[in-house]
Amino acid sequence: MKIEGWRARWLIGFAYRLLRFLARSIRFEVHDRGEVLPVAAQRSLIFAVWHNRLLLLCSIFERFLPGQPAAALISVSSDGDFIAALVERYGYGTVRGSSSRKGASALLRLAEVLGSGTHLVITPDGPRGPAYELSPGVIFLAQKSKATVIPISLEFSSSWRAKSWDRFFVPLPFCHVRVILGTPLDIHETETDEAFEQERKRLQDAMVSLVEEK
């Protein structure tokens, strides 16, 4: 949808209030396996989460990283327009573009955002998948920016699953959500395609290892 006109503004406002209500009804529990939260207060990080678990991320940042600036990489599409408007309604930033090698301008902007002290959120299998297959852009970004990557997973006690390519999770009201923060990963510099693939696979495996329900 194109985000313009009163109908679009009304829909965004309604979705925002609905997400607020949903988040207030949920019991969140954070499992900080890598002692990420103290580090996040000191320097900018790249948070990597699978696309099908992104719905409550703004509420989670508000709750567990209060007052810390953050931005999300969001695709340039009609769906991306809607998601970007919601993220900005929460007071967080957005960078529009691709995390692929071809999205060089977006990667440059992301590196600048990290350099300003802002956390970044990337869904490395979005926006079209395949699910749980990590695209190379986050590796390029981590190498360029020297920022540490934090794998995240959200696990829901009860949820509805969309009939989408990634079977998107929509948690049900009053459920229990476990926010799992994995061990921070520093991505190594690489000189060959084989070494780069090892780094990509290392981060992908770390993210998949946190997932309990696919």
| Identity of the highest mean pLDDT range in 1-10, 92-101, 179-188 | 179-188
> In the prediction, which pLDDT does 175 show?
98
Per residue in 100-147, pLDDT (tens digit) is 544 556 778 899 999 999 999 999 997 888 999 999 999 999 999 999
What DSSP string describes 7-41? HHHHHHHHHHHHHHHHHHHSEEEEEETT-HHHHHT
5-210 adopts what CATH topology? Glycerol-3-phosphate (1)-acyltransferase (3.40.1130)
Which burial class, exposed, middle or buried, applies to 186 when counting CB atoms under 10 A from its CB (0-12, 13-18, 19+)?
exposed
Long-range pairs for 7-12 at CB < 8 Å and ≥24 separation? 8/85, 11/82, 12/82, 12/85, 12/86, 12/89
Per residue in 19-43, pLDDT (tens digit) is 999 999 999 999 999 999 999 999 9
Per residue in 45-92, pLDDT (tens digit) is 999 999 999 999 999 999 999 999 999 999 887 778 888 999 999 999
pTM listed for this prediction:
0.93
- How large a percentage of the chain has pLDDT more than 70? 94
Choose between 118 and 6: higher pLDDT.
118
Mean pLDDT of 143-162: 97
Residue pair 168/51 in contact by the 8 Å Cβ criterion: yes
What are the sequence ranges of the domains in the chain?
A: 5-210
